[in-house]
Structures are given as C-alpha cells and as structure tokens.
Structure 1
Amino acid sequence: MQGGTTTMNWKSKKLWIKLIAGARKLSNVFWAFTVSVGSAGFVLAGISSFLDRNLISFVPPQEIPFFPQGIVMLFYGFGGCFISLYLWSTIFWNVGSGYDGFDRKEEVASSFRWGFPGQKRRTTVRVYIKDIQAVRIRGKEGPYGYRVRYMEIRSQVLVIRRDEDLTSGKVEEEAVELAFFLRVPIEIS
C-alpha cells in the first residue's frame, strides 16, 4: 500500500485502485475555522453596535455606528456564517472522496465519488478500457495554476483528477503510470 496526503494506491498486475481523500484536508479545516471565527466576530461587532454594549473587548461600540457600519458588519457576518456552514458540511460529509479503479482482468475502469446527501449522493462512472483512447494532461502554471488528468473515451471525456497541490512532474508521472497500466497513449496539451 503506497500512501500520500491526498491519495492512497493499491496496485497489482491486473488491478489498480486509487483512493481519493476528498474534502477532509487540513487546508479545508483551516479555512472553515478561519471563516467561522471571522464571521462570528463580524456578527458580534454588528450586534454590539446595535445594542451599544461592549461584546468584543478590543472594539468599543461607540466607534462603530449601527447605521451603516453595524448593518454591513451583520450582513457580512451572516454571509460568512452560511459560507462556513457550507465548508463544515463538505468536510463532515467528505464530499469528493471516493476511488478510481482500473481492472484489466474485467476490462473496466470505474470512478466513484461521494457528494452531498440526497438522491445523487453517490456518483459512479464505469467505462470499458477498450473504449479509452488516451490519457491526457492539461495544465496552467502560475499563482492560479492547475493540472488536470483526464481520459479521452470515444468522443467523451472523463476527468480523473484536478489538482493544485501536485507539481507538474508528479502529475506527469502519475499520468504516464496510468497510461502504461491501461496500455493507451499519453498526450500533453
């Protein structure tokens, strides 16, 4: 069993399973916590300006008039509460986690992901390996760069993984390994 921070692999001659971690990452917990604390601070500042009482020790309520600053702080605070609720929900339900499986014995490639609760919580895609024409890599470098690995399947595209965390070399290495395992060509665009 090989391991990494975001994925784990199990590989034999005929079967390759890649477990995908999903939303339960340290960076997501950090941002959910930061947005929660920040939005709570904005709500407390807005309420303290409305009540004209000191609910936050380092900001006197006389310095923040309720109209318009207090109202705006309440608005941003409640907006931040909804965003943090969304972030904590994705972490709790581990949205995006699942696996990619490639079975050369059964000649099937499958991708499974967990989503939000509901009728479409489980997403599964299965394709025959003989229908896979190529493994492709697309990427953009820079501060907002990304790397995408996907499979071209007879006039369709199946995204394998989009990753901002991996280096270009690691993305290419994994794509080459997958193309070799599936016995299909690799294309870089």
Structure 2
Amino acid sequence: MSADLQESPNTGDPSETLLEQFVKGSKKTSNYIVASMLTIGGIGFSLASISSYLGKDLLPLGNPSTLIFVPQGLFMGFYGISGTLIACYLWALIRVDYGSGFNRFDKEKGVLSIDRQGFFKKITIEIPINEIQAVKLEIREGFNPRRRIVLRLQGRKDLPISEVGGPQPLLYLEKQGAELASFLRVNLEGLSN
C-alpha cells in the first residue's frame, strides 16, 4: 500500500485535505508464477493419466504409459484436474485484479471511501471520517503471519485497509500507520497480536 497524495481543487495544502492510498490487487509476480506452475503441473499430470490409460507416451519425459491406470493413473488424473481447476481460478483472479483499489480520505467531505475490485463487481464502502477513533497496527507472527493497518471505528468492528498478501515489512507498516494517524489526527495504537 503506497500513499500518494493527490491535488485538491480547493485552496490550501492538498496534503491536509485529501489522501489517496492505492492498493495492489492480485496482479503480482508471485501469483503469475504460481498460476503458471499449477497450469503446467495440472496439464502434465492429466497427460500422464491419459498416457497410462492409452498405453502411449504423451509426455516427452519419463514413461507414463508404463504406469498402471488403477490406481496410479486415476490419482494422477485427479491431481491433474485439481491443479488445472485451481490454476483457472487463479488466472481469473489475476484477470480481474481481485482486491485492487484505493482508500480515499477526504477531509473536506468528511468521508473515507474504500473501493476494492471484487470477483464479480466493485465493492465500495463509505464511512464518516469522524467515526475513526484510531489507526491500529495488527501484527501476528507464526505459521500464518499477519501484518496490517486497521482503522478502529466508533461502534463497529475494526476495518482493515492494507493490501492482502504476504506480510509487509514492519518498518514500512509503522511508517504508513504513522503517516495515516498524523493525517487523520488520531492516535496510532501499538502493535497487537
């Protein structure tokens, strides 16, 4: 999540009235690599399964025709179909750039607009800025780590606003949280698990 300050049409310092943060979606290099590997693997396992059924080598590597169709060929076919379906799902997410969008903090209108690309439609949430009580950094380490910026809202659940993906570097996250808290003139709450 990178904070880019946009020009405000009204007089005054634009950095004091409008803040836009653009959020990356699923069009990331790592997603392209994983989708490509799943596609190649899924097709490879499917061809190995078909080769074991037909008794002909459809792959240039190995001798899949020597595999016994039941159970080895069937399991390879299951893996091939599963890998191909997951790859198709990932390619669809990459195509629509799932999760991309922006956070727009507009002090003149007094509204926080969160806009994200969903799978079938755009998702837009508008919240009055005066309902934001604090900016909070959530850090969870371990097997499934999480590092994100969350807005603490009055009378509602906390609202995460950072991009989805691998954990962000802690220094970068702290800097973004501090800039946002300074812009909104609210407290930056400490790290929580």
TM-score by length of 2: 0.88
- Aligned residue pairs, count: 181
Alignment partner, residue 149 of structure 2: 149
1:84-140 CA-partner distances (Å, limit 9, x unpaired): 0000000001110110000111111110001112xxx11111111111111111112
Residue 115 of structure 1, aligned match among 113, 118, 126: 118
Structure 2 counterpart SS, 1:164: coil
Does the CA-based 8 Å contact 1:148-1:163 persist in structure 2?
no
Q: Hey, what's the Cα distance between the residues in 2 that align with 1:50 and 1:7? A: 52
Q: Hey, what's the Cα distance between the residues in 2 that align with 1:135 and 1:163? A: 20
Structure with more strand by fraction:
1
Q: Hey, what's the Cα distance between the residues in 2 that align with 1:94 and 1:7? A: 17
Structure 2 counterpart SS, 1:155: coil
Structure 2 counterpart SS, 1:53: coil
Structure 2 counterpart SS, 1:172: helix
TM-score by length of 1: 0.90
2:167 equivalent to 1:159: no
Identity rate, percent: 35
Structure 2 counterpart SS, 1:105: coil
Does the CA-based 8 Å contact 1:146-1:163 persist in structure 2?
no
Structure 1 counterpart SS, 2:16: coil
Alignment partner, residue 178 of structure 2: 176
Structure 2 counterpart SS, 1:139: strand
Alignment partner, residue 104 of structure 1: 107
Displacement of 1:164: 2.3
Alignment partner, residue 125 of structure 2: 125
Displacement of 1:9: 1.8
Does the CA-based 8 Å contact 2:57-2:63 persist in structure 1?
yes
Alignment partner, residue 44 of structure 1: 47
Report which structure shows greater RCO (CA 8 Å, sep ≥6).
2
1:9-59 CA-partner distances (Å, limit 9, x unpaired): 234221011111201011100100010001110000000000000101222
Does the CA-based 8 Å contact 1:8-1:20 persist in structure 2?
no
Moved over 6 A (4+): none
Q: Hey, what's the Cα distance between the residues in 2 that align with 1:127 and 1:139? A: 24
**2:166 corresponds to which letter in structure 1?**
E
Does the CA-based 8 Å contact 2:45-2:77 persist in structure 1?
yes
Q: Hey, what's the Cα distance between the residues in 2 that align with 1:61 and 1:96? A: 40
Gaps of 5+ in 2: 7-14
Does the CA-based 8 Å contact 1:43-1:73 persist in structure 2?
yes
Structure 1 counterpart SS, 2:39: helix
Q: Hey, what's the Cα distance between the residues in 2 that align with 1:8 and 1:41? A: 43
Q: Hey, what's the Cα distance between the residues in 1 that align with 2:183 and 2:2? A: 18
